[in-house]
Protein backbone atom coordinates (compact mmCIF):
# COMPACT_ATOMS: atom_id res chain seq x y z
CA UNK A 1 0.00 0.00 0.00
CA UNK A 2 0.98 3.61 -0.48
CA UNK A 3 0.62 4.26 3.23
CA UNK A 4 0.34 2.14 6.35
CA UNK A 5 -1.91 3.41 9.14
CA UNK A 6 -0.26 3.23 12.55
CA UNK A 7 -2.41 0.70 14.38
CA UNK A 8 -1.59 2.29 17.73
CA UNK A 9 -3.54 5.37 16.63
CA UNK A 10 -6.62 3.37 15.56
CA UNK A 11 -9.28 2.91 18.19
CA UNK A 12 -12.01 1.49 15.92
CA UNK A 13 -12.55 -0.28 12.59
CA UNK A 14 -12.33 1.97 9.54
CA UNK A 15 -15.48 0.43 8.03
CA UNK A 16 -17.93 -0.49 10.82
CA UNK A 17 -16.52 1.66 13.65
CA UNK A 18 -16.31 -1.33 16.04
CA UNK A 19 -14.08 -0.45 18.99
CA UNK A 20 -10.89 -2.50 19.24
CA UNK A 21 -10.13 -4.32 22.46
CA UNK A 22 -9.29 -7.76 23.85
CA UNK A 23 -11.97 -9.48 21.76
CA UNK A 24 -11.77 -7.26 18.66
CA UNK A 25 -8.32 -7.40 17.09
CA UNK A 26 -6.85 -5.03 14.52
CA UNK A 27 -5.99 -6.18 11.01
CA UNK A 28 -4.33 -4.16 8.25
CA UNK A 29 -5.72 -4.40 4.74
CA UNK A 30 -2.71 -5.43 2.65
CA UNK A 31 -4.00 -3.41 -0.30
CA UNK A 32 -4.95 -0.01 1.17
CA UNK A 33 -3.13 -0.04 4.54
CA UNK A 34 -6.16 0.92 6.65
CA UNK A 35 -7.04 -0.90 9.89
CA UNK A 36 -10.16 -3.08 10.14
CA UNK A 37 -11.76 -5.63 12.46
CA UNK A 38 -11.67 -9.31 11.44
CA UNK A 39 -15.22 -9.23 10.05
CA UNK A 40 -14.49 -6.27 7.76
CA UNK A 41 -11.18 -7.70 6.52
CA UNK A 42 -12.14 -11.33 6.00
CA UNK A 43 -11.48 -11.37 2.25
CA UNK A 44 -8.26 -12.68 0.73
CA UNK A 45 -6.54 -12.05 -2.59
CA UNK A 46 -3.85 -14.27 -4.10
CA UNK A 47 -0.28 -13.02 -3.74
CA UNK A 48 0.77 -10.64 -6.51
CA UNK A 49 4.29 -11.71 -7.36
CA UNK A 50 5.23 -14.61 -5.12
CA UNK A 51 3.49 -17.83 -6.23
CA UNK A 52 4.50 -19.48 -2.94
CA UNK A 53 3.24 -16.57 -0.83
CA UNK A 54 0.16 -16.62 1.37
CA UNK A 55 -3.09 -14.96 0.29
CA UNK A 56 -3.28 -11.32 1.37
CA UNK A 57 -5.96 -10.18 3.85
CA UNK A 58 -7.93 -7.29 2.34
CA UNK A 59 -10.97 -5.18 3.19
CA UNK A 60 -14.26 -5.44 1.29
CA UNK A 61 -13.64 -2.30 -0.78
CA UNK A 62 -10.25 -3.52 -2.01
CA UNK A 63 -11.63 -7.02 -2.63
CA UNK A 64 -14.37 -5.69 -4.90
pLDDT 10s digits, 6-53 = 989 999 999 999 999 999 999 999 999 999 999 999 999 987 766 778
Provide the number of structural domains found in the chain. 1
- CATH number for the domain harbouring residue 37: 3.30.40.10
Q: Is 1 among the domain residues?
A: no
Residue 50 domain flag: yes
State yes or no: pLDDT of 61 exceeds 80: yes
> What is the domain extent for residue 57?
7-63
Long-range contacts of 52-58 (CB under 8 A, 24+ apart): 56/30, 56/31, 57/27, 57/28, 57/29, 57/30, 58/29, 58/30, 58/31, 58/32
Q: Classify residue 51: in a domain, yes or no.
A: yes
- Beta strand pairing call for 35-36 and 27-28: antiparallel
Q: What is the pTM of this model?
A: 0.84
Amino acid sequence: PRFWIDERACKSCYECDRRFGPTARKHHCRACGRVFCARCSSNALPPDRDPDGAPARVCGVCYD
